[in-house]
Amino acid sequence: MGKKEVLLGLHESAAHNGQVQAWEADIKAFETLKADYEDELRRVRSEAYQVATMYAVFQGVILTAISQRTLLTCSLSWSPASISISASVAAFLVIADKLKSIGEVEEDIRTTGLSMSALQGCLDKVDEEGCELDLDTFLPEVEYQRFECAGYRFILSRDGLCALLFLAIFSFVVSCFSIITLCKHCSRCN
């Protein structure tokens, strides 16, 4: 069957025209949904960067206070070290949650893309077969799996592990610097 006959047959079939219009409307709705998910992904990433920046600034404040060391002695070295570790734990939990959210949103974007592809495949099939296509048996088929741990996979990705490793190393450096600096300049320890 030629392209001209297919298009002419589709034009004459109200059921096929209605189904094509419904699928096209669904594709537009999925495009809007995908754009919303992409906006949410940018927002969550921005929030994760803001938390990491606030964490780095807070650790910088601790380092600045230690380096001035006017009133601190080694007996108080637990204070900046514990503050640094507390900030690290809080930042770790918030960033892990943001990484989980990023993973979930990326999974939503992927499934939306699969749904759009399935609908586009249906439209292509209608263009090929025209009104001979049996609409009662032909439905969009989407093969995707949604895992409950989809967001946690992102935490274990290369980017997620690097972010969490950065937090751990930076916290360790600040804590060690606090203790070593305060003990090195303490009159009782020398």
**Residue 185: per-residue pLDDT:** 65
Checking if the pLDDT of 89 tops 90, the result is no
R_g of the chain computed on alpha carbons: 29
Average pLDDT over residues 105-113: 90
Q: Hey, what amino acid is at 15?
A: A
pTM summary value: 0.72
Q: What is the CA angle 75-76-82, rounded to 5?
A: 125
Q: What is the pLDDT of residues 16-74, one digit of tens each?
A: 778 888 888 999 999 999 999 999 999 999 999 999 889 888 888 887 777 776 566 66
For residue 65, give Cα distances in angstroms to 14, 79, 178: 76, 11, 9
